[in-house]
Structure formats: C-alpha cells, structure tokens
Amino acid sequence: MAQPRRIFSDSKLRGLALRVLDQDRLDAFTQLTALDLGALESGAIAGYDLGTLYVAGLAAPDAGAVRARFQERLTAGAIVKHPAPFLYRLTGTRAGEPRTLVSVNDRLFAFASGDATLGRIAEAYAERRLKSPTALAGAALGRLPPVGSDALAVAYFPGPFVGPWASALHGLLRDASAASVAVRVSAPDTLSVSVTLAGEWNEDAAAPAIETAWSELATSSTGLLFGLEHAKNMRIVADLHHLTWSTELPTERLVAGLRAATIANVPEMFGEHGSESTGQPIEPTDRRR
C-alpha cells in the first residue's frame, strides 16, 4: 500500500521516485490506462493464489477514460455490467488471461488479473453484500498494530510462514503470525524503515536474532547495493504480542541501489557516464578487410 500523490507532490521525493520509476515509463502507463500514477491518492497491490488485485484511489472522480482504455485492451469478452448507479464491472480476457475492472463512485478502481473471482469480491464489498473481515482485519494481519497515516508505503505479509520463510530472521518468522514493513520520511535525506512481527516474543532471545540477521544482510552484496551498511539509530522493541525493529537509511544510497537493480544500464551500474559510443558489439567486424 502506498500514497503516490503524497510522494509526487513533494519535489524531493518526486525526484527520487523518478530516478527509479523513470518518467517515460510513467507516461507510457498513463497512455495505456488513463491513470496518472503520480496523482493517485492511494494504491495497493495484493497477491493471492487466484491472481493479483490492484486497487487505486483517485483524488477526484474521473473514471470514464479508465474504463474505456481497459475495454480497448481486452482481446475477447468485454462484458460491461452496471449493477448500481455508482458501480461498474468490466470483464474479459487479454492474451487468454481473465481481466476484471471494478470502478466505484468513479474514484476507486479494483483491477483483477487472473481469476475473475477477485473482481466479484471487490464488487461485493462495494455493495456491502460481503460481511467477512477485510484483509487487514483478518485472522493474521489483524494481529498487527495499525500503521499511522505518516507512512509513505506499507507492505503486509500474512502468516503462517513455512518452508524457507520459516528460517528467515534466524527462525523468528517461524513464530510470527504476520509481518509488516513501513517506510516513512524521518529527515530530508533519510528514510525510516520499521519491521513489525506479530507473535509471542521474548526480547532477550529475539533481539540478538534480529541483530545477527541484519548484520548478515547489510554486509551481503544486496545490502551493499542498497547502502544498508550506513543504517543508523537502530532500535528493537519487544512486548507480549509484537516485535518491532526500526532503523534509518540514507535515501540517496537506497534509491541508487533500487535504480541499479531495476532500470540502470551496465555502464551506469559501474559509474561510467560517458556519452561517446565505443562501438557496436552486436555487429561483428569483418576481419577480411
């Protein structure tokens, strides 16, 4: 979950975000979907066994273009339902995969990729026909403490954690019923990251496990890429039901690592920024000349 509009309305955060997302890619996304990611009031992505659900909240009602673009991109189906004055549901397939778009009050969108059941569930919640607890109030995530509105982005992970995940954080995830990671701005050039685990904890045993896990991550190739070795003001707080680890990271190093891991080209990764071409290696030289 994230607050894109808040991020892009801050000149400093916007500049950092564009280094990772790239303006051309954002423009291409807007052209395809009629959604301006930087103007979204809120956004969320949820992964399920059935498929993936994307939710977007607009700052102002403007849904007609979004529905039209969605319908244009469907390769088969294109069934439009209007079950209530405030509600539209569009279904179809693209490249053989089911796609569903639900729009509520022309301000809230739920896009389901995969099983159309996800779209029908979103529709049922919008019509208040579904009385089941929402995801954040469910059996797993409901045990986590609420995350304040000051967080720029939050990731939630419902348990139980099994298989390789159970041994993560030196076995701490095995005893956790859920986890969350929240990112906030703590200073102009610093981001605060906090990780909270729900479960039963003994601080004397949990703290050394987290410290060891963090040290291993920070000194790994991934940690060095993201500048994790420069973390400061690390804190670990454990109570009866929650274990929280927090630290502050330099924004510049973190963003540089994210760019290198996603869209940077090879010369940029190694700090080479020359503009002159060094040849065309994909076209072999004819040595017979």
The single residue listed with the structure tokens 């779209």 is 119
How far is Cα 74 from Cα 200, in angstroms, rounded to an integer?
A: 48
Q: What are the E-state strand segments in 85-189?
A: 87-94, 97-104, 108-114, 153-158, 176-187
Give the pLDDT score at 21: 85
Bridge partner list, 51? 114
- Nearest to 247, CA basis, from 258, 256, 236: 236
Give the pLDDT score at 89: 94
Determine how β-strand 176-187 pairs with β-strand 97-104: unpaired
Give the pLDDT score at 288: 43
How far is Cα 155 from Cα 195, in angstroms, rounded to an integer?
A: 10
| Contact indicator for 174, 161 with CB cutoff of 8 Å | yes
Q: What single DSSP character describes residue 145?
A: P
CA distances from 84 to 87, 89, 102, 105, 218 (A): 5, 10, 12, 10, 52
- Nearest to 8, CA basis, from 30, 29, 23: 23
| Contact indicator for 229, 219 with CB cutoff of 8 Å | yes
How far is Cα 203 from Cα 238, in angstroms, rounded to an integer?
A: 5
Give the pLDDT score at 230: 93
- Nearest to 53, CA basis, from 140, 119, 123, 104: 119
Domain extent listing, the chain: 1-132, 133-268
Give the pLDDT score at 282: 41
Tokens coding 60: 């102002």
Give the pLDDT score at 130: 85
Longest CA–CA span in the chain (Å) reads 78
How far is Cα 4 from Cα 39, in angstroms, rounded to an integer?
A: 7
Tokens coding 253: 């190093």
CATH of 1-132, one of 1.10.3470, 2.40.128, 3.90.1640, 3.40.1000: 3.40.1000
The single residue listed with the structure tokens 């904890």 is 201
- Nearest to 210, CA basis, from 197, 227, 198, 229: 197
Tokens coding 133: 């607890």
| Contact indicator for 184, 165 with CB cutoff of 8 Å | no
Give the pLDDT score at 258: 87
pLDDT per residue, tens digit, the chain (289 aa), is 999 999 999 888 999 899 888 888 899 999 999 999 999 999 999 999 989 999 999 887 778 889 999 999 998 878 999 999 999 999 999 988 999 999 999 999 999 998 889 999 999 999 989 888 888 888 899 999 999 989 999 999 999 999 999 998 888 899 899 999 999 998 888 999 999 999 888 778 888 888 999 999 999 999 999 999 999 999 998 888 899 999 999 999 998 888 888 765 544 444 444 444 444 434 444 444 4
48: number of Cβ within 10 Å: 14
CA distances from 108 to 23, 59, 63, 87, 227 (A): 24, 9, 8, 10, 37
